[in-house]
Structure 1
Amino acid sequence: MINIKHVFFDLDHTLWDFEKNSDLTFEKVFKKQQINTDLNAFLEVYRPINLEYWRLFRDEKVSKKELRYGRLKKAFDSINYTISDDLIDTIAIEYIEYLSDFNHLFEGTFEILDYLKDKYQLHIITNGFEEVQYKKMKSSKLLPYFDAIITSESVGVKKPNPKVFHHALKVANANQENSIMIGDSLEADIFGAINIGMPAIYCNFNNDVKTSDSYTSITSLLELKQYL
């Protein structure tokens, strides 16, 4: 990878520990709103439902508003907890408001960014909501490391749409040959990059996906030192 000059990272599940921070946010919101149910039982059903809704959102099958309401409604229904639509809307708003209060990053995040920052230009490409992603990065002290931050909302489409990657390259004054994408989603990050001719490194942190010859796979961020 001697020609690489630009390193593009995904944010959630790649640098920013979404699951841990999300769980803590729900704990705060549930306590504030006096939601009388077992939090762990809720989270157990919410996590896959959230992933399902994000896939629908990525595929333009639900709106941002439908995602924020629908994932909560389906999760509460799954645990047979009766809750009003008004309270669901309140929880949805407070969840987004408080999410950036928690700043857990994956192990090795600052070490690898410090290692990379003097060798490459670092950028973010994220499908997350624009107003939330900047707050996350600021509160977790990630902002200073990155030159360009590209959100899908600013492009109008979401990864793996090629428009997102082409827009990101243009903003960063980069090209496919001197750039690499690092992320946790095979479909959105890895195949999205590969489909436009950009190499990619897959963050297989749970070590639950078989490796492939079409991309490099790592199980921890510090493994990037072997390649970059």
Structure 2
Amino acid sequence: MGMNRVRAVFLDLDNTLIDTAEVINLLKSKYQYKEGEAHVISEKVQVKFSQECYRESKMSITDLRISHWEEAIQETRGEAADRELAKECYFLWKSTRLQHMTLSEDVKNMLTELRKEVPLLLLTNGDTQTQREKIEACACQPYFDAIVVGGEQEEEKPAPSIFYYCCDLLGVQPGDCVMVGDTLETDIQGGLNAGLKATVWINKNGIVPQKQSPVPHYIVSSVLELRTILQNIDFIPSVSA
């Protein structure tokens, strides 16, 4: 398969293996947001979720996450903060997220085939209870050799320490591992910080990164393209789109 020098693959959960952008239809249908705006708001919220300092915040997890929606809407629309709309978005997301958290058959098949050739580790940021609920809901445990939740560690992505912990779990070196995720600021920056062999950014919506954003080694539009990337990862050093 051409993965002789790749010893392990780390994969993010939210928006990498599963899609958690359930509120888009609400924003489009009830509030007449343009599809592009709704997608941008959803993407911004996911980034805020992945970066949230819930351990340091004096707010409850509910208030903190309502604030994420409020900020994302305000940043995207350039309007005054709308706490009530943010609450509606959050509670809809919360009530439906576990129902939508399933791995597609294509993703299951891909993970099954990959695991025959290289160890797989699920690496996800977030509050322990929240992330463990997601993991249980999508029944992804059988597809991984190990699962690491950031909320259970001293530091989360993009801190190098959590990547080193993952390497120790699998008995591999950082330079032999690949990180796959949808968030530049945590998944990709973290992989770069830890000196991993390669980083693969899942860019589903064709987002153009800001100039100061971390630069991944590879860019794909679907996690299903991962096997092809891994086949060539030792032979194509430049960024592929």
Give the corresponding residue for 1:102.
100
Query: Which residue number in structure 1 is paired with residue 23 of structure 2?
Result: 23
The one-letter code of the counterpart of 1:3 is: R
Q: CA deviation at 1:193?
A: 0.9
- Alignment RMSD, CA only? 3.9
Q: Structure 2: any 5+ residue segments left out of the alignment?
A: 232-241
Amino acid at match of 1:4: V
Report the Cα offset of residue 201 of structure 1: 1.6
Cα separation, 1, equivalents of 2:149 and 2:137: 18
**Contact in 1 for aligned 2:98/2:137 (Cα 8 Å):** yes
1:186/1:12 CA distance change after superposition, 3 Å: same
Q: TM-score, normalised by structure 1?
A: 0.72
For residues 160 and 110 of structure 1, what CA distance do their matches in structure 2 show? 26
Q: For residues 122-145 of structure 1, what are the alpha-carbon distances to aligned partners after superposition, in whole Å with 9 as ceiling and x for unaligned? A: 111111332222222322231211
Write out per-residue CA displacement over residues 66-110 of structure 1, whole angstroms, 9 at most, x where no aligned residue: 5223135557886886749xx95x985785465212225468312
| Alpha-carbon distance between aligned partners in 2 of 1:169 and 1:148, rounded to the nearest angstrom | 11
> How many Å apart are 1:162 and its aligned residue?
1.1
Matched, 1:71 2:63: no
CA–CA distance in structure 2, aligned partners of residues 104 and 161 of structure 1: 28
- How many residues are treated as equivalent by the alignment? 213
1:179 match: 177
Decide whether aligned partners of structure 1 residues 76 and 182 sit closer, same or farther in structure 2, where only a CA change above 3 A counts: closer
Partner of 1:57: 52
* Match runs of 1:178-217 below 5 Å: 178-199=176-197, 200-209=199-208, 215-217=217-219
Structure 1 residue 183 displacement after superposition = 0.8
Give the number of the structure whose residues are more often helix, by fraction.
1
Is the alpha carbon distance of 1:129 and 1:55 closer, same or farther for their aligned partners in structure 2, counting shifts above 3 Å?
closer
Structure-1 separation of matches of 2:15 and 2:226: 16
Distance in 1 (CA, whole Å) between partners of 2:139 and 2:46 is: 26
State the partner residue of 1:7. 9
Q: More displaced, 146-155 or 42-51?
A: 42-51
2:12/2:123 contact within 8 Å kept: yes
Change (3 A) 1:218 1:74: closer
Which one is further off, 39-48 or 172-181? 39-48
Q: Aligned ranges for residues 120-199 of structure 1 at < 5 Å?
A: 120-199=118-197
Contact conserved, 1:14 with 1:183, CA < 8 A, in 2? Answer: yes
Deviations 1:143-163 (A, max 9, x none): 211121111111132211112
Structure 1: any 5+ residue segments left out of the alignment?
28-36
- Cα distance change of structure 1 residues 80 and 94 upon mapping to structure 2, 3 Å threshold: closer
Partner of 1:31: none
In structure 2, give the amino acid aligned to 1:218: V
